[in-house]
Amino acid sequence: MEWQEVVAHPSLQDLPFKIETNQWGQIVMTPASGKHGRYQGRIIELFLRLGEWGRVFPECPIKTPEGVRVADVAWASAEFLKKYGAPLCFPESPEIVVEVISRSNSDAQMEHKRRLYFQAGAKEFWICDESGDMRFFTPGEELEKSGLFRLFPEHVDIEI
Protein backbone atom coordinates (compact mmCIF):
# COMPACT_ATOMS: atom_id res chain seq x y z
CA MET A 1 0.00 0.00 0.00
CA GLU A 2 1.36 3.46 -0.90
CA TRP A 3 1.65 6.07 1.87
CA GLN A 4 -0.92 8.35 0.22
CA GLU A 5 -3.44 5.49 0.34
CA VAL A 6 -2.69 4.80 4.02
CA VAL A 7 -3.19 8.45 4.97
CA ALA A 8 -6.42 8.76 2.97
CA HIS A 9 -8.00 5.39 3.90
CA PRO A 10 -11.24 6.05 5.84
CA SER A 11 -10.91 3.01 8.12
CA LEU A 12 -7.50 4.19 9.33
CA GLN A 13 -8.64 7.61 10.53
CA ASP A 14 -8.62 8.45 14.24
CA LEU A 15 -6.98 5.22 15.39
CA PRO A 16 -5.09 5.30 18.71
CA PHE A 17 -2.07 3.79 16.96
CA LYS A 18 1.06 4.99 15.25
CA ILE A 19 0.83 3.73 11.66
CA GLU A 20 3.86 2.88 9.52
CA THR A 21 4.48 0.68 6.49
CA ASN A 22 7.10 -2.02 6.09
CA GLN A 23 9.19 -2.95 3.05
CA TRP A 24 6.29 -4.98 1.61
CA GLY A 25 3.77 -2.11 1.83
CA GLN A 26 2.00 -3.71 4.78
CA ILE A 27 0.57 -1.49 7.50
CA VAL A 28 2.21 -1.80 10.91
CA MET A 29 0.45 -0.28 13.94
CA THR A 30 1.86 0.47 17.39
CA PRO A 31 -0.41 1.41 20.32
CA ALA A 32 0.08 4.86 21.84
CA SER A 33 0.51 5.57 25.56
CA GLY A 34 0.28 8.67 27.67
CA LYS A 35 3.85 8.34 28.99
CA HIS A 36 5.21 7.98 25.46
CA GLY A 37 3.31 11.10 24.35
CA ARG A 38 4.50 13.11 27.33
CA TYR A 39 8.14 12.29 26.51
CA GLN A 40 7.51 13.35 22.92
CA GLY A 41 6.12 16.64 24.22
CA ARG A 42 9.15 17.26 26.44
CA ILE A 43 11.52 16.55 23.54
CA ILE A 44 9.60 19.00 21.36
CA GLU A 45 9.89 21.61 24.14
CA LEU A 46 13.66 21.06 24.24
CA PHE A 47 13.96 21.57 20.48
CA LEU A 48 11.88 24.74 20.66
CA ARG A 49 14.20 26.18 23.34
CA LEU A 50 17.33 25.34 21.34
CA GLY A 51 16.84 27.71 18.49
CA GLU A 52 14.81 29.02 15.62
CA TRP A 53 17.03 27.85 12.76
CA GLY A 54 14.86 24.83 12.08
CA ARG A 55 11.51 23.20 12.81
CA VAL A 56 10.39 20.26 14.92
CA PHE A 57 7.91 17.62 13.73
CA PRO A 58 6.02 15.19 15.97
CA GLU A 59 5.04 11.90 14.30
CA CYS A 60 7.17 12.64 11.23
CA PRO A 61 6.64 10.27 8.25
CA ILE A 62 9.92 9.44 6.49
CA LYS A 63 10.44 7.24 3.44
CA THR A 64 13.11 4.66 4.20
CA PRO A 65 14.49 1.76 2.17
CA GLU A 66 11.94 -0.46 3.96
CA GLY A 67 8.77 1.61 3.80
CA VAL A 68 7.54 4.67 5.65
CA ARG A 69 8.63 4.95 9.25
CA VAL A 70 7.10 7.58 11.53
CA ALA A 71 9.67 9.12 13.84
CA ASP A 72 8.35 10.09 17.26
CA VAL A 73 10.01 13.48 16.82
CA ALA A 74 12.21 14.89 14.06
CA TRP A 75 14.05 18.18 13.60
CA ALA A 76 14.69 19.73 10.19
CA SER A 77 16.90 22.69 9.32
CA ALA A 78 15.68 25.68 7.34
CA GLU A 79 17.71 24.37 4.38
CA PHE A 80 15.99 20.99 4.54
CA LEU A 81 12.57 22.64 4.69
CA LYS A 82 13.41 24.90 1.76
CA LYS A 83 14.26 21.79 -0.26
CA TYR A 84 11.23 19.66 0.76
CA GLY A 85 8.59 21.94 2.29
CA ALA A 86 5.92 19.94 4.15
CA PRO A 87 5.06 16.93 2.00
CA LEU A 88 2.70 14.11 2.93
CA CYS A 89 5.82 12.03 3.58
CA PHE A 90 9.40 13.25 3.60
CA PRO A 91 11.36 11.56 0.76
CA GLU A 92 14.52 11.91 2.85
CA SER A 93 15.11 12.03 6.59
CA PRO A 94 15.35 15.34 8.42
CA GLU A 95 18.70 15.90 10.14
CA ILE A 96 17.66 14.63 13.59
CA VAL A 97 15.33 11.72 14.28
CA VAL A 98 14.21 10.87 17.82
CA GLU A 99 12.58 7.65 18.95
CA VAL A 100 11.03 7.17 22.38
CA ILE A 101 11.49 3.60 23.50
CA SER A 102 8.37 1.73 24.57
CA ARG A 103 8.23 -1.52 26.50
CA SER A 104 7.39 -3.28 23.25
CA ASN A 105 10.63 -2.11 21.57
CA SER A 106 13.67 -4.36 21.57
CA ASP A 107 17.27 -3.20 21.20
CA ALA A 108 17.32 -4.96 17.81
CA GLN A 109 14.26 -2.99 16.65
CA MET A 110 15.84 0.32 17.69
CA GLU A 111 19.09 -0.60 15.94
CA HIS A 112 17.11 -1.48 12.81
CA LYS A 113 15.20 1.82 12.87
CA ARG A 114 18.44 3.71 13.48
CA ARG A 115 20.01 2.07 10.42
CA LEU A 116 16.95 2.85 8.26
CA TYR A 117 16.90 6.52 9.26
CA PHE A 118 20.61 6.89 8.55
CA GLN A 119 20.13 5.23 5.15
CA ALA A 120 17.38 7.79 4.53
CA GLY A 121 19.80 10.66 5.28
CA ALA A 122 19.53 11.41 9.02
CA LYS A 123 22.61 13.07 10.52
CA GLU A 124 21.80 12.10 14.11
CA PHE A 125 19.53 9.56 15.80
CA TRP A 126 18.47 10.13 19.39
CA ILE A 127 16.89 7.57 21.71
CA CYS A 128 14.86 8.49 24.77
CA ASP A 129 14.63 5.52 27.12
CA GLU A 130 11.82 4.69 29.55
CA SER A 131 13.55 6.74 32.28
CA GLY A 132 13.85 9.85 30.10
CA ASP A 133 17.58 9.45 29.52
CA MET A 134 18.79 10.43 26.05
CA ARG A 135 21.42 8.74 23.87
CA PHE A 136 22.83 10.34 20.72
CA PHE A 137 24.18 8.60 17.60
CA THR A 138 25.74 9.49 14.27
CA PRO A 139 26.05 6.85 11.53
CA GLY A 140 29.45 5.84 12.88
CA GLU A 141 29.30 6.19 16.66
CA GLU A 142 27.48 6.99 19.86
CA LEU A 143 28.06 10.55 21.08
CA GLU A 144 28.12 12.04 24.56
CA LYS A 145 25.89 14.86 23.31
CA SER A 146 24.41 16.08 20.07
CA GLY A 147 26.93 17.35 17.56
CA LEU A 148 24.26 19.42 15.82
CA PHE A 149 23.09 21.21 18.95
CA ARG A 150 26.29 22.28 20.68
CA LEU A 151 24.39 23.75 23.62
CA PHE A 152 22.59 20.49 24.34
CA PRO A 153 23.67 19.12 27.74
CA GLU A 154 25.51 15.81 27.90
CA HIS A 155 22.75 14.27 29.98
CA VAL A 156 19.18 15.34 29.50
CA ASP A 157 16.61 14.28 32.03
CA ILE A 158 13.16 14.71 30.58
CA GLU A 159 11.19 13.28 33.46
CA ILE A 160 7.45 13.76 33.21
| 21: confidence class by pLDDT, cuts 50, 70, 90 | low
CB-CB contact of 62 with 93 (8 Å): yes
The model's pTM is 0.79
Return the CATH number of the domain spanning residue range 32-143. Answer: 3.90.1570.10
The pLDDT tens digits for 22-49 are: 676 766 656 566 677 788 888 888 888 7
Instruction: Please tell me the distance from the alpha carbon of residue 128 to that of residue 118, in angstroms, as a whole number.
Output: 17
Other residues' Cβ atoms within 10 Å of the Cβ of residue 132: 17
pLDDT at 5 over 60: yes
Angle (CA) 137-143-144 rounded to 5° is 135
